Structures are given as C-alpha cells and as structure tokens.
Structure 1
Amino acid sequence: MFMQYSVFGSVLTVGGIIGSLVNGKIADLVGRRRTMWLSELFCIVGWLAVAFSKHAWSLYLGRFSLGIGLVLMAYVIPVYIAEITPKNIRGAFTAAFQFLLTSGLSVMYLVGTVVSWRALALIAAVPCLLQIIGLFFIPESPRWLAKVGREKELETTLQRLRGKNADISMESAHIREYTQTFEMDSKVGIFYLFQRKYAYPLVVGVGLSAMQPLLGATAIQYYASYIFSEADFSTKIGSISLAIIQLPVIGASVLLTDRFGRRPLLLASTIVMCLSLAIIATAFGLQGTHRWNEVTSVLVYVGIMGFSVGYSIGLSGLPGVVMAEIFPINMKGLAGSLVIFIHHCINWTITFTFHFMMEWSKTGTFSIFWVICAAGVAFVTFLVPETKGRTLEEIQASITKLSRR
C-alpha cells in the first residue's frame, strides 16, 4: 500500500524531472509565449487522462503529463513576467503568479470536497483551455526578442507594454546593449555554467530551489491529509484550513515584496517554518505519552498552519522571483533547466520516501526537516542577494562581477 501511495505521489515529480531537462532550452528556442502554450497542452492531456482513466497506468500517465506541463509553466511564467515588467513593480507581479496559483489550488481543494475526482480533473482542464486562448492576446518578451535579433518587434512590443506615449528609447537601448554583451560571451553547453563568474548566481538559484522540498514543503503539501490522520486530527478540517489560510498570506507577500525586499521576506519565512517544524516534531514526540497525548493533534494542526503561513509569505513564490532576476540572458535557459532539474530530483526523493520516513519515526522525520530549515535560515542570511528596485541588467551585471572576485 505504501509503495502504491509513493509511486502515485511521486510520478508527478518524475514528469517534472523530464520537463526540467528541456524547459529552459524550449523557452530560449521558441520563445516564452509558445512555451506557455506547450505547457497548457501537456496539462490538458494530463487532466483528460486522469478524468477518463480506467486503469492505474492511465492515472500515472496523466500525472506524468501534468508534471511536464507544470514544470514548463513554473519556469517560463516567472521569467516572462520578470522580463516584461518595470523594476518598481517586478517583484509584486512575479510573486502574483504564486498567489494566483495558490488561489487555484485552494479552489480545487474546496471543490474537491463536493465533487468526484473525475469531475475535478475535468474542471481543472477548463482554465488550461482558457489560457491557451488568452495567450493569443499577450506580447512576446522584449528581452527574448532582443536575444534572437528581432529588433523591430522589440520596439513594438516594448511600446505596447509601456504605453503608446511612453519614451522607450533608453530602456530598449539598454536591453540591446546588455543582451549583445552577454550573447558575445555565450557558449553552448551545460558545463559552461560552471565557470567562476556564474558560481554565485548558480549557488543562490540551486540553494533556494532545493530549500523548498528539503524543508518539508513538498511533504506537507502532498501528504497533509496523511499527516493530520497520523495525528488523529480531522483531515477535512485540516485540508480546508490549509486551503483558506494560504490565500491572504500570499496576497500579503505580493504587496510586501517590492516594499521590504526579497531577502527580508525569505528570512522571515524560513524562521517561521523552522519554529513550526519544531512544534510538529515535538507534538509527535509527545504522541503516545499518557499526559500529553490529547494535545498532539492540536499541536500538529498549529504547526502545519504556522508552517503554511511561513512558507506562503516567502519561500513559496520568492525563489522563482529571485531566479528570474539573477541569471543573465545568455545562460537563463541552461541555468533554469539545471536548477529546476535539481529541485524536482529532490522533490521526487521526498515524495517517494516520506511515507517510509514517517513509518520509521514521525518525530525523526520532522526533526530532520527542522535541522535543514535552520541551515536554510543561515543560507538566506549570508548568501541571498537583495534585488529590489534594480533593473534585470543591473542585477545580473553586478552578480556576475561579484562572482569574479
């Protein structure tokens, strides 16, 4: 039974691993908008396979297709938003992607309590179809157009994004100059990433991406009902609470990202998650003791709600914001693929082994997450750069120079 749960829970991540090998390359070759189209097609195929499945293999196939679609989407949408928005609102707009994503998940949580899983899969396919239609009405990224040498379209697109009366001459010249500089230095191959000048952004990108699953976010998101059940707490109340609590917190994160910056919110996020994991580990440690057994379920509920708040305020969406900002245009595709590949490999490991870890020791499982989270606090404090209020070109030039020191 545990093996079936583990395979079904992790097959989505297997699709993500496959998708992460090519997502950056696809976005660089065909553009940001066409990559979004492709991601939605994979998602539609996945949801229809789940909805009309008659055997376990078709469920696995549907989840696998969804994994590919979701990883394409998770890469290209933050990159696209970061490349089209002005610097003073870039953080909020990029973080808004996570807010809308969580809003959709929360709606699906709630709808899932009143409809069958097949009906839920069909409902989930509808927004994918709507987005395919909506993509006809949005422009391509001006920075990608500069990268592929489509100068005339660059001017037209930038003017459309900034308004017909806006002066775009300085911004377009800056984008061209920066892109040409990095493209002259561009070489093909994943191993080109491992140069000293790219070391710092690569460490930051990989570190932030790895922190999400390693700190327990994947386990709690995928197996929240199971954790509540193990703590003898109502799975329905717990799941609905999770769906509700995330929305206002991520909404606050969107509003605060460009006001306080990325690093302060990430630091607050990891500290709250660390404290919450300590509460959960302690609660399961008290389970089975005569005096404290009654409070275990309440403490686990409080810990998971606190973890969800901490995760939603920073680590949920801000790694995508930072990664969309720190990689130079010539290496963005390769770096994005590598970072997301590592993320999904760790994601798969956590989702596949979590049931076995909980069987080994509930307290031990969340204590491991707590130790890694404490290391994550130090990582954010000493290594993550602040990118608020600077253009993408300024950020990437300064980070590349820092790596050369």
Structure 2
Amino acid sequence: MSFRDESDDGHLRKPLLHTGSWYRMGSRQSSMMGSSQAIRDSSISVLACVLIVALGPIQFGFTCGYSSPTQAAISNDLQLTVSEFSLFGSLSNVGAMVGAIASGQIAEYIGRKGSLMIAAIPNIIGWLAISFAKDSSFLYMGRLLEGFGVGIISYTVPVYIAEISPQNMRGGLGSVNQLAVTIGIMLSYLLGLFVNWRVLAVLGTLPCLVLIPGLFFIPESPRWLAKMGMTEDFEVSLQVLRGFETDISVEVNDIKRSVASTSRTTAIRFRDLKHRRYWFPLMIGIGLLVLQQLSGTNGVLFYSSTIFESAGISSSNAATFGLGAVQVIATAVSTWLVDKTGRRILLIISSTGMTFSLFVVAVSFFVKGFVADDSTLYSISGILSLVGVVGMIIAFSLGMGPIPWIIMSEILPIKIKGLAGSVATLANWFIAWVVTMTAPLLLSWSSGGTFTLYMLMCALTLAFAAILVPETKGKTLEEIQLSFR
C-alpha cells in the first residue's frame, strides 16, 4: 500500500498509510528534516515497545536471584534441609525447560504478545504460592510455575525485539534483554537485604503485573503477522513502529519476499535440515547458547559467597550485590557497543577475557592448596581469586551474556524459528541446570580443577566464535537469511 510516485514538478509524493492522503516533499532541507524526524519517531516507538517487554527479563532475573538472599531465612522458617532448598533452587530450571519446549510453538500460534501474556500468569501465581507457603510443597509448585513462565520469556522476548527493531539498532536493543535480566538479579539481591522472603516473593509479582496491561499498548511483531497472512495488520504494525512519516515500502517488500520464499512448504521435515541454510544457523544458535552455560558463569555466581569468604570479605550478601551491580554496568556497556563494533568481535573479546580470568582463579586456588592458611601468599591468592571472578563476570557481560540470545533471534530461518528456537532455549536451560547441580560437587572435588574445566570451555567458545560465527551487524533479518543460502 505504501509506494512512491512523482508529481508533475518532479517532487516526490507519498501516501500516508493511516489516512491514504497525499503530501508533498518540498525542498531538500525539508526532506532531511522529515527524515530525521521519522528516525526519531521510529526510535521512540521501538524503544517504548522494548522497555515494556523488558519487564519479562526483569522477572527472569528476579527469579534467578531470589534463592541467594533467602536461603537461610526460608530454611529456618520452613525447616528445610540443604538438599530440600537445593531442590527448590533448581526447580526453576526444570520448569524453564518445560516452558522452553512449549515456547516456540506458543509464540508461533498465538503471537509474541500472546505468549508473553501466557508467561506472565504462571509467574504471578508462582510468586504468590511461594509467599503464602506453609511447607515445601507450595515452594516447589511456585518455583516450577515461575520457571515455566521464564522459559517462555527467555525465547519470546529476544525474538520479538529482533523482529521489531531497525537493523541499525537491533544489536543494542537486543542487548536490553540481558541487561534487564541482570537488573532483575541485582534487584533481588538488593531488596533481599531489607525485606523478608515472603515480602520479596510478593514484590516478584510486580514486573508481570505491569507487563500484562503494557502489552495492550504495543504492536504485534510485523514479521509474525506477515507470516500468518495478516497483510493489512502487518503493514499497520510496521508503520507504527517506523513512524507515520516513514516510507516503509522497501521493508514491506523485503519481508513479503522472505515470507513468500519460506511459505511454499508449510512444515519443516527432518530431511530439510541437511540443507546448509537450516543446519548451519541451527548449529550456531544452539552452540552459542550451550557454550554460554558451559563457561560456568552460573556456578561462579551461585557460589560466589564462598569465594568472597576465602578472599577475606565478611559480608558475602553485600559483596554479591556488588557483583550484580558490576554485571549490570558491564551489560549496559555491551548494549552501547554491540551495534558499533559488531557481535562477533565482542564474542571473541568476551571469551578471551573469560578464559584469562578463569585461569587466574584456577591458579589462585591451586596455590592456596599448597601454602599455609596464615601465610601472605594465601591472602594474595584469595585476592587474586576475587579479581578473577569479577573479571570473568565483566567479560561475560560484555559478550557471552547478551549476544548468544541476539544471534539466536537473528539467524534462525523463519520456517524453523519456532521449533529451532525451542530446541536452542531448551538446550540452554538444560545445561544451566547441569552446571548448577554439578558445581557444588566439582568444587568439593577440586576448586582449582573446577575453574580449569570452565576455562577450557571458554577457550572452546573463543575458537567457536572466531571460526564459525558470522557477523550480523547492519544486516536486515532477510539479508541474514539470504546469506545462509
């Protein structure tokens, strides 16, 4: 419906999508002013949408961080053993795996907004179940429900952001997903210092209570609408996102061609995966999300209090909050950098920094095993382990935290996005659960050996990023799909 034409005097005319009326583009100066105004309108519209759906990842982070400041209080009030509380902490990962399996199909059949609405409801019920729990059964049920909602959120939000963002802003806006997760973790640490665990659980409902009404004020993903054949809604959604003064004809045609080329066969078959345009992006998407967890970041974060104590820091909860604040700042820097430097280079820098930092941590623990507890070398080793952990978190937040989710949402072909996205998200949550469950066992076996294993995984990630991961900076989603053909 949007197209370009010339008037008799050579000036360009363009129809406004929402009114169908004509206007004239006069002088070069007014054209430039209109263009800059359209860019501002587009930025504001898309940013507003991203900030609303970012409430989902804040919920995600709050769920991840909740168990850290509440362990002692919940265990004392409900008489839980260490193993019972460990089960409580890990059940969110189990619920997230179930949510991940369903996430792709839910997002494909009822849309990105509809799937976020569905995800918000079990999160609210789960937090309330935990808040009013009188025994472990309500705790477990609430944690499973939270995890289910988080599993859907972890797939849907990055996909929605990627599908609504202009190509020059997609990386930075995509990084907001991980930034919101880190903010949620930090908030749970901070509020956990001042309120009891029941009140903290009630506060956990707030992101989703705001998200549900917020979803009514933002447009659905135009690419999903186009795929579902809702042509008029698709163009209206895209026009709202890009601004009413913007000519969207080129982007409309690109999306239509992309959807048409992938709609000739309605279902993906396993034999189709032998084609490079399917197996290669699927391998990269799953590989990055698996390596993100195999780096051991969850193990380091969940058991950082032990490292802080060994470094001589008395208030481990305050130190954990400080680590969360560092993670937020570093992720914010990544949000600013990702569209300037590119995804691939940040992945390489991030995995290199993580490898070096974990080498420092591993060496410090090996040294501590051979020296006396009251020696100067022992104290220096404790400080080095602390520096290494902080360095690892900074390096992770710069690249391996946000970028695997961005790349997954960018490179998966629209034909297999639902199925492949579910598989990639499930793999991420399964490995997260494995790392979380095995970290205490590995640390009791050998702290230095544990961090050496994590270091080797980071070195493998460096090789994977340098050799296989393509650069997607500055390309439309349609151009990225074309490159795999």
* TM-score > 0.5 by shorter chain: yes
Q: Distance in 1 between matches of 2:271 and 2:187?
A: 42
Q: Is the 8 A contact 1:15 1:65 kept in 2?
A: yes
Aligned residue pair count = 400
8 Å CA contact 1:35–1:72 kept in 2: the answer is: yes
- Of the candidates 22, 41, 45, which is equivalent to residue 102 of structure 2? 22
Q: Secondary structure at the match of 1:31?
A: helix
| Residue among 280, 288, 299 paired with 1:208 | 288
Aligned counterpart, 1:325: 410
- Correspondent of 2:160 among 44, 68, 80: 80
Residue in structure 2 matched with residue 175 of structure 1 by the alignment: 255
- Aligned twin of 1:373: 458
| CA pair 305-124 structure 1, distance change in 2 beyond 3 A | same
Deviations 1:30-60 (A, max 9, x none): 0000011111112112211211111112212
Gaps spanning 5+ residues in structure 1: where?
Answer: none
Note the C-alpha offset of 1:192.
4.7
Structure 1 counterpart of 2:207? 127
1:73 positional shift:
0.8
Cα distance in 2, alignment partners of residues 39 and 215 from structure 1: 28
Aligned with 1:114: secondary structure? coil
Q: Contact (CA 8 Å) 1:9, 1:352: kept in 2 or not?
A: no
* Offset of residue 261 of structure 1: 0.3
Q: Which residue is equivalent to 2:449?
A: 364
Deviations 1:213-233 (A, max 9, x none): 100112123332244346554
Matched, 1:106 2:191: no
Q: Which amino acid aligns with 1:359?
A: S
| Aligned equivalent of 1:260, options 326, 341, 352 | 341
When normalised by structure 2's length, the TM-score is 0.79
Q: Are 1:7 and 1:352, in contact at CA under 8 Å, matched by a contact in 2?
A: no
Match of 2:141 in 1: 61
Q: Residues 155 and 60 (structure 1 numbering): CA distance in 2 closer, same or farther, change over 3 Å?
A: same
Question: How big is each residue's C-alpha offset from its partner over 1:47-76, in whole Å with a ceiling of 9 and x where there is no partner?
Answer: 112111111122122111111111111111
Shift, 1:191, TM fit = 6.8
Contact 1:262 1:388 in 2 (8 A): yes
Q: Supply the AA of the counterpart residue of 2:106.
A: I
On the 8 A contact 1:186/1:331 being kept in 2, the answer is no
1:91 aligns with 2:171: yes
**Separation in 1 of the partners of 2:127 and 2:309?**
27
Distance 1:225 1:296, change over 3 A: same
TM-score by length of 1: 0.95
Contact 1:2–1:356 (CA under 8 A) maintained in structure 2: no
Asked if the contact 2:131–2:202 (Cα under 8 Å) also holds between the matched residues in 1, the reply is: yes
| Equivalent residues in 2 for 1:4-403, closer than 5 Å | 4-188=84-268, 192-193=272-273, 195-229=275-309, 233-234=313-314, 235-288=316-369, 289-290=371-372, 291=375, 292-399=377-484, 401=485
Q: Distance in 2 between matches of 1:191 and 1:138?
A: 38
* Distance of 2:243 and 2:380 partners within structure 1: 58
Tell me, in whole angstroms, the C-alpha distance in 2 between the residues paired with 1:71 and 1:229. Answer: 33
Q: Which structure has the bigger radius of gyration?
A: 2
8 Å Cα contact 2:278/2:413 also seen in 1: no
Change in 2 beyond 3 A, CA 1:189/1:57 = farther
Cα gap change, 1:313 to 1:354, in 2 (>3 Å)? same
Amino acid at match of 2:393: S
Amino acid at match of 1:94: G
Deviation, structure 1 residue 300 = 2.0
Residue 303 of structure 2 aligns to a residue whose secondary structure is helix
Q: What's the CA shift for 1:307? A: 0.9
Moved more, 220-229 or 28-37: 220-229
Q: Percent identity?
A: 39
Q: Deviations over 1:7-32 (max 9, x none)?
A: 23321111111111110011000000
* Residues 325-374 of structure 1: per-residue CA shift (max 9 Å, x gap): 00111111111001111111111111111111111111111111111111
Say which structure is richer in helix. Answer: 1
CA distance in 1, matches of 2:384, 2:144: 35
Q: In structure 1, give the amino acid aligned to 2:93.
A: T
CA gap of 1:354–1:310, structure 2 versus 1, over 3 A, is same
Give how far 1:319 is off.
Answer: 0.6
SS of the aligned residue for 1:88 comes to coil
Q: How much is the aligned-residue C-alpha RMSD, in angstroms? A: 1.6
Does the CA-based 8 Å contact 1:6-1:355 persist in structure 2? no
CA contact (8 A) 1:266 1:380 kept: yes
Which amino acid letter does the alignment assign opposite residue 282 of structure 1? V
Separation in structure 1 between the aligned mates of residue 272 and residue 416 of structure 2, nearest angstrom: 9
One-letter amino acid of the structure 1 residue matched with residue 299 of structure 2: A
Deviations 1:69-113 (A, max 9, x none): 111111111100110111011111111121122123212211111
Deviates more, 1:271-280 or 1:98-107: 98-107
Q: Which runs of 5+ in 2 are unaligned?
A: 1-80
Structure showing greater relative contact order (alpha-carbon pairs closer than 8 Å, 6 or more residues apart): 1
Distance 1:106 1:274, change over 3 A: same
CA displacement 1:134-162 (0-9 Å, x = unmatched) = 01100000000011100110111111111
